[in-house]
A and B are shown apart, each in its own frame.
Chain A
Amino acid sequence: MTAANRFKSFIRKPHNVILVALAISLSFLTLFPLLSLVRDTVIVHPSELMSIRGSKPGDLTIFHWRKVFFDGETSQNLFYKPFWNTINISLGACLVSLVLGGGVAWLITRSDLRWKSFISTAFIFPYIMPSWTLAMAWLNFFRNRLIGGAPGLFTALTGIETPNWFAYGAFPIVIVLGLHYAPFAYILIGGILRNMDANLEEAAVILKASRFKILRRITMPIVMPAILSTFLLVFSSCMSAFAVPAFLGTPVRFQVLTTQLFRTLNGLNPGYGYIMALVMIVLGTLILMINQWFVGKRKSFTTVTGKSSNISLVKLRSLRTPLSAGLVLFILAVAVLPLVTFAIESFILAPGDYSFKNMTLQFWAGEGRVDIGGGEPGILLNKYIYLGLWNSIRLSVVVALVAGSVGVLAGYAIVRTRGTRLSGYVNNLAFFPYLMPSMAFGAIYLSMFAKPNLFIPSLYGSFALLVLVGAVKYLPFASRAGINAMLQLSGEIEEAGLILGVPWWKRMTRIIFPIQKSSFLSGYLLPFISCMRELALFVLLITPANRVLTTMLFQYNEKGWNQYANAINLMIVVIVLVFNTAINKITGASIDKGIGG
């Protein structure tokens, strides 16, 4: 066959066309920013004129690299300490989420726990809610007087002062991140446990192994690869978490890479920040490589059998009711109580006074008062809140549509051409944005698209830029959902249509999509939810005309207008939960399917 003919037959297949298109556009949208980032680490930025004396913006310099890595105490404080803090809290949070998420997954799939359907539904909530929700709730509850000012609800109720290490810094960050990602671990490990042949454990029961021995010798080794990859994914998520350490770490000057990133990008030395972003990307890539190496080395042990209904449940006996009740209480505390604290905090007028006469509707429905919050009206009367809400929803819907659809196409093209180099390349590219810390990603897109380039006009301050950055950032969720959906679908299904001469788009819309509807839709749902609660990604890109709820929340919070912040947060959480539940009920899509559980 001649090259021309080969090309012709290559290009005639829709999946090849999609693959090539994705390879080119994703290279531009993910690799290119990376290069731009590298460039940003070696040039002088306008705000660095103070630090790098006598330079002009755009000059080449190794100043940042020297300061970040090789400048003794400065590097220690600037980079190394935050770096180790990041590693430590990520490890801690991983441990918490694995133990908790894995434990609940085990209880749900392997024991006769009560109220399973409630527990398994409500346990996901902390993951659906914005990550700072728990951080804010923690502060509402446990902030102490040691740091000055109004004590939290806990102290107000019990009179016990919380110690500093408990209220702020590494400990609460680990706990809160751990709780936030526990559902993630639950979904992944639960999925494996559900698919794992229960007979493997039963065989050990019959052979008189104790429950603990079974867990240690049989269950753990078999689900180990899954646990490891959960660990790595949670680790990289924790590493790029910004809001939680920002809320809980700042009062005691506990810095991690992301908070340093934010400070330096907004301060005098953005160059430092770009280097940190690069470090985080390198770390993320390393993690991904370890994961792939590990998965490749040890074949998955899990086998799907049709006998899952026959799993024999461990009898918790006397522990059954206390454990179930404890878990329900715990979930209520983690998933519902924060919302209650937001509600309460949004009603109180003078801080720290939780008596009824101090309650006011001012921050919800009051007219602006000059003596409170700079004269802002209550959020239900504030037209900017409605603008923000509209923007949030509009942005999330568009991002979800774009990311989800590209994810479907990516999944289709990647699976259909599985085994080819291009397929692997696109697969990795589509996952790459996951490793980019959101804030750095936002910063790069800002510098890339602030000016008109090539055929792309300047997108600065435009809605399109937000859509672009959101769609690329959340593509990994969508493409994973798409790939999973396509892997479950045998090629013959489509070939049957092909033989009948059904055109490609019709095969996609009439055959493939409907069959895997709920899996594909999950690929739309996760970007939607993530987008609704995203802060770090947009915080640098927002302009007044297109601000979204989360950035408004952050602003209010920074100004110390806690009541507005709490009210907005409550609003975001409720919207996300309502949307998630509605979509779940109507279409059957769910975030656990999106994650690949």
Chain B
Amino acid sequence: MADGTMPLLEVEGLRKSFFGVTVLHDVGFSVKPGEALGLVGENGSGKSTSMNILGGVHQPDAGEMRLDGKPYAPADPKAAIAAGVAFIHQELNLFQNLSIAENLFVDAFPRRGGLLPLIDRKAISARTEAVLKEVDLHMKPSTEVARLSQGERQLVEIAKALSRNARLIIFDEPTTSLTRPEVERLFAIIERLKQRGIAIIYISHALEDVMATCETITVLRDGHLAGAGAAKDLSLQQIIAMMVGRSIDTIYPQRSGTTGTEVAFSVSGLTQPGVAENIGFDIKAGEIVGLAGLMGSGRSELARMIFGLDSFRSGRIEIGGKPLSEPTPVKAMEAGIAFLTEDRRGEGLLMDFTIAENTVLASLRDVAGAFGILDGGKIAKVSLEMASAMRLSTDKVGEVKVKHLSGGNQQKVVIGKWLRRQPKLFILDEPTRGIDVGAKQEVYRIINGLVERGSAVLLISSEIEELIGLSDRILTISRGEITGSFDRRPFDREAIMTAAAGLTARLEAAL
């Protein structure tokens, strides 16, 4: 492996900032033909930015990229594709109503000779069949994509990359929505791609997968290069240590008061085929329970089922000692559950509406009198109170639309809208996603205040540090099952990450 082959792609001194915030500092890596580079790091470590630069979505502020020794600076995604760099996103970009073959050629169908612009079906069929064989997908080229499983669709994306003569294929979290057999199959394909001399960049949170597939591994942390090396020389523990790196600094505020003894919320035997298996835990009043899991582990799905947004087959939920059967959002709210969704723009807020309108949306009954008539004065008062309690950047709550607020302020509005209801249980799904450090700190302060007043909190986060910094207890979830429970501080960070990756059993066996 350490032979003298020229790298296919070399990246040096990559630097990028958005709005004055530097998100990449002198990042560099390289990948040789026929090899896979694993790129790992926590959320916000700079993986996606680096890849977006490679894929032509963003332009770097500084740094050099070379493909085959020649300068490579794609101006847009099309240029990247033309240069032989294919990007397989987590959300696949396929037309479900078209066939596999049509998806491969939709932007440039080969035509039959003659006057009429007819598609050369034979040609696309033959070419599709050839690339499908390479990715080991034994389907007719005429099969409609809608009929394929998630794993099969991914193979179609790979076939699409091959049909465009890709020399470097970037996989972004390719395994999150795949079943285990599909994952194995994907790995076999990646091996075959490598044998053909194609270079791979593999991005994933699932470290074991990365170690199994990649020859070299590069670790990013906070936009810096945190470490790199050959996969065979690195242990899982070493990689995790590089990813986590820094110690928890002071951004997590101290909390006064103690956890109560009474159970505020409990769930037992929660099962939904394909999503959750026999999930059970409880949360005490004044306690924060962190839920650690990879993307696609079922952590958000669990939250949605508890709040009544998704159905489940069996299981029992109790809140404040009372059962909550067949929850709907309305019932869950009446029982005292609040839910901060991970999709702030899509589900959390009405972007075109004012701060005040959003603030009272979940507690309209409290600001309405007889016949549901709203009390304008009360709405203004409530919203202003919220704005000052949340330290919002503006107090023009009746005029400013939330789409004009920064991400951090938007998130404060979403939290504020639920705090109004004094929830017994507050489910927070990624409460600090996409907001800056200052706003994060404020959100932590708000969460602590909430708990001090006796609420129970279920905190879901991709950032392990956040979980460690805030939680009284951490549960790990993997493939829809609770895989571990970690009591009290100091938390064993690496053990939690390992359990969240679903590795406990295997790791213990190895040790």
A and B co-occur in one complex: no
